[in-house]
Structure 1
Amino acid sequence: MIRERERLEGTPERDLALDCVEAGIRAADPERAIGEVVSLEGDRLSVEDASYDLDEYEEVVVLGGGNAGGRMASAIEGVLGERISRGVVVTDAPEETERIEVLPGDHPVPSERGVDSTRRMLELADEAGEETLAVVLISGGGSALMPAPAEGVSLEALQEVTEALLASGAEIGEINAVRKHCSAFKGGGLARRAAPSTVVSLIVSDVIGNDLSTIASGPTAPDATTFADAREILDRYGIDPPEAIAERLERGANGEYEETPDAEDPVFDRVDNHVIADGFSALEAARDLARERGYEPLILSTSVRGEAREAAKTHVAIAEEVRRTGNPIEPPAVVCSGGETTVTIRGEGTGGPNQEFALSAALELREREGIALASVDTDGIDGASDAAGALVDGTTVSDPETARAALAENDAYPCLAERDALIETGATGTNVNDLRVLVVATPEASR
């Protein structure tokens, strides 16, 4: 899984950190997750505790997409086979399928081909009837991969307002509120388009707390926000949106467009959402492997957030405490965390949150022995780079001034590349957000 892994190995701590990363990503594999929670016995399809008699439906249609869309499509074909009538899934990590069209989209920047692919998927949703079972596959990255501008709104307009919101410091929920009201797909839009079919959503979550309305912007989940909310958010941050978006939000607030469906909308009467894998799935696998290797494991949190370089300092402080005092666990130990850190853009460099996390940690670990840290985005793409993240220890930073300058310019990628610290996996076919693994040896082990 990790390319050219041998250049990253070298100490027991580094080797175990890499093993834990690979175990975590494999555990989040949607094919494995679908195999564990979805089964077909005769004519009865079971998903966790729910079951569906396929004899009651004229057709089974597969819809959706995201970073894990290709793997999910392949897996559901493995379960349902010829029971699938047709399907369209949009992803940036395609898989060979027989009955489901796997169409291209782009991530993290949405593209016109993503618009075309999503339009084809929505056309299929529109054809679904009361006797259709729509199996919807949703995973992280879906917001970008499946852009579906509402009538009269261009992709460029959506990109412009999204970039302005990101630069303003708006929270993800606020950004989503605006995007949902400019989309034909987000905020329950897919559930509405597929009605009156029975919808069964299988979801791989990249969202802290598994908020269904946030994962891929909630295509099959109720939306509690309104056109008026979206307009107020833009006003609050002083954003002057493109004319088409301003007009849509104004007319929507005046009742000229239908609101996104909320929890009381009957469109959800026949919708079942199932989260089949999330960040905890990856952390559990890393924890279990560490225990098998004789290390005391600790899952610190699945909800780490905030500025990446600052969160890194806290993680290193915990590792130092473990090594020095045996608190909160005795070394040798492995401390794991998940969630989603962020980066405030100040420079024009290359990198991503996991690379900034790793480089900041490397500065804190400089000349310390017995601690290694791996930090990756489980989809294999950290920020807009071709690296998943990085592996660092006390030897990574030889010139602290250069490392600090790289952080100041948001240019962690070349700094880490020069030290052979980058972890590269390519697109993994899943996305459950960040995975961080700290391996702490006993003081005696590194003497």
Structure 2
Amino acid sequence: MSKKELENIYFKALKKVQADSIIKDNLVLKDNSLKIVDEIVDLKKIENLYILGVGKAAFAMAKACENILKQRINGGLVISTSKGKLKYLQHFTSTHPEVTNKSLKAATKLLKISSDMKKNDYFIFLLSGGASALIEKPIKGLSLKDFIKASNALLTSGIDIKALNTIRKSISQIKGGKLADQIKAKGKVLVLSDVIGDDLNIIGSAPMNNGKFSHSLIGNNKIALKEAKKYSKPFVEKVEIITTTLDKSSEEAAKYIKEKISFYDKKYKSFVLLFGGETTTVVKAKNGFGGRNQELALRLLLNKSINKKISILCAGSDGIDGKSDAAGAFIDFNLYSKIKEEKIDAKKFLLDSDSNTFFKKVGYDFVTGITGTNVMDFIIVLKKGEE
């Protein structure tokens, strides 16, 4: 199996969109001049500099900001899924993907600090995927209990993120630019995209996108996969980024990927095929463990997308795939004999929405821990040439 080669490609893509890289590339301090992407801020002309952040990558992004700005930071709040303390900023660990009381507490804290900022203050807002669940304040008349019930039903329904976030915005006091309405200070929003097409109206349910503040996209799936392509070129005959906007059900995606593999398999002795995007899946059983990447990997195994030379890694860039501790899963040809010998019914795990249990059982789950970034998913297909 080519686990190591697949891992190397994954981590090369990941590194390009991790917090240190994207913040260093877009935040430059020289004396009292702060360059934020394409904007210059004269720090002598502002009263206080705040850092605000929400999302799975917010903690790592904020830490990278602290390393550059240090004591020039006058305050701020960062809300993420990570655990840990920041030196100059408050950090609050909230929940994802479920909305909970912590989400409400986080939103209350963020609304308070946002509305307290003065006209002569300046803020940098770090937005990444996961913000939708991490902060929440339901519209008046809707209890948190009912909001959570509605959110959980949506999460397991199989609808895409665009539709999901549209509904979330309509029942929220913080999404869809409503947080920005509370802010008097000037500022800029730095965005790490976790949605297909990098639509600013969708990322994190757009808490700051009401036209008042400029948004700059500093990391996405395309940037990551370009780096993976560059890294893979010397090792195989052909490297191709097939898509960075994969937007299908896991069942349809598995058919699509199989077709692409079949096409390139006939033409090239060795290759790396790269797919980016986000599939959808309908959770059919409540007690199963897994996520869209592991389900996709299981479907690719069952539809016989692989042969003796081809192996695949399906994994989330954030390190967490649905209801599991894995980022995703590997598959290769050896798995067929393994499940036959051990009399494992792989199809039953799929029907039970229990892909993670299957991959743990066979030792093919891919565990990275929280990566500190989030640019959707990577599907990496590797065909090795003759040894």
Deviation at 1:174, TM superposition (A): 3.6
- What SS is found at the alignment partner of 1:381? coil
- What SS is found at the alignment partner of 2:179? helix
Match of 1:355 in 2: 294
Give the distance between the partners of 1:165 and 1:331, measured in 2 at CA. 44
Alignment of 1:83-162 (within 5 A): 83-162=72-151
Deviation at 1:409, TM superposition (A): 1.8
- What SS is found at the alignment partner of 2:217? strand
Match of 2:321 in 1: 382
Match of 2:16 in 1: 27
1:391 paired residue among 323, 330, 334: 330
- What SS is found at the alignment partner of 2:194? coil
1:281 aligns with 2:223: yes
Question: Kindly tell me: are residues 164 and 391 of structure 1, through their superposed partners in 2, closer, same or farther at Cα, counting changes over 3 Å?
Answer: closer
Match of 2:27 in 1: 38
- What SS is found at the alignment partner of 2:346? helix
Q: Deviations over 1:96-133 (max 9, x none)?
A: 42111111101111221232122112211011121010
Give the distance between the partners of 1:367 and 1:285, measured in 2 at CA. 25
Q: Deviations over 1:50-72 (max 9, x none)?
A: 22111221001111211001101
- What SS is found at the alignment partner of 1:52? strand
Give the distance between the partners of 2:274 and 2:158, measured in 1 at CA. 28
Match of 1:320 in 2: 262
1:310 aligns with 2:252: yes
Contact 1:108–1:384 under 8 Å retained in 2: no
Structure 1 stretch displaced more, 305-314 or 96-105:
305-314
Give the distance between the partners of 1:127 and 1:82, measured in 2 at CA. 20
Contact 1:381–1:388 under 8 Å retained in 2: yes
AA in 2 matched with 1:135:
I
Give the distance between the partners of 1:406 and 1:310, measured in 2 at CA. 18
Structure 1 stretch displaced more, 343-352 or 150-159:
150-159
TM-score, scaled to structure 2? 0.93
Give the distance between the partners of 1:219 and 1:148, measured in 2 at CA. 11
TM-score, scaled to structure 1? 0.81
Give the distance between the partners of 2:306 and 2:377, measured in 1 at CA. 26
Deviation at 1:172, TM superposition (A): 3.5
AA in 2 matched with 1:359:
L
Give the distance between the partners of 1:168 and 1:140, measured in 2 at CA. 19
Contact 2:54–2:127 under 8 Å retained in 1: yes
Give the distance between the partners of 2:43 and 2:106, measured in 1 at CA. 28
Match of 2:368 in 1: 425
Give the distance between the partners of 2:55 and 2:19, measured in 1 at CA. 11
Give the distance between the partners of 2:118 and 2:306, measured in 1 at CA. 65
Deviation at 1:135, TM superposition (A): 0.9
Match of 2:209 in 1: 221
Deviation at 1:152, TM superposition (A): 4.4
Match of 2:197 in 1: 209
Structure 1 stretch displaced more, 91-100 or 75-84:
91-100
1:82 aligns with 2:71: yes
Contact 2:48–2:121 under 8 Å retained in 1: yes
Among all aligned residue pairs of Structure 1 and Structure 2, give the percentage whose two residues are the same amino acid.
29
- What SS is found at the alignment partner of 2:301? helix
Give the distance between the partners of 2:327 and 2:166, measured in 1 at CA. 29
- What SS is found at the alignment partner of 1:94? coil
Question: Kindly tell me: are residues 380 and 297 of structure 1, through their superposed partners in 2, closer, same or farther at Cα, counting changes over 3 Å?
Answer: same
Give the distance between the partners of 1:69 and 1:36, measured in 2 at CA. 16
1:337 aligns with 2:275: yes
Tell me, which stretches of 5 or more residues in structure 1 are unaligned? Answer: 1-10, 223-262
Deviation at 1:376, TM superposition (A): 0.4
Contact 1:65–1:137 under 8 Å retained in 2: yes
Q: Deviations over 1:160-204 (max 9, x none)?
A: 22234456665533432332233232111221112x211211111
Deviation at 1:333, TM superposition (A): 0.9
Give the distance between the partners of 2:126 and 2:325, measured in 1 at CA. 25
Contact 2:106–2:134 under 8 Å retained in 1: no
Deviation at 1:281, TM superposition (A): 2.1
Deviation at 1:143, TM superposition (A): 0.6
Larger radius of gyration: 1
Contact 1:378–1:435 under 8 Å retained in 2: yes
Alignment of 1:264-303 (within 5 A): 268=212, 271-303=213-245
Question: Kindly tell me: are residues 167 and 323 of structure 1, through their superposed partners in 2, closer, same or farther at Cα, counting changes over 3 Å?
Answer: closer
**RMSD across aligned positions (CA):** 1.9
AA in 1 matched with 2:227:
A
Contact 1:191–1:199 under 8 Å retained in 2: no
Give the distance between the partners of 2:51 and 2:306, measured in 1 at CA. 53
- The aligned length equals 382
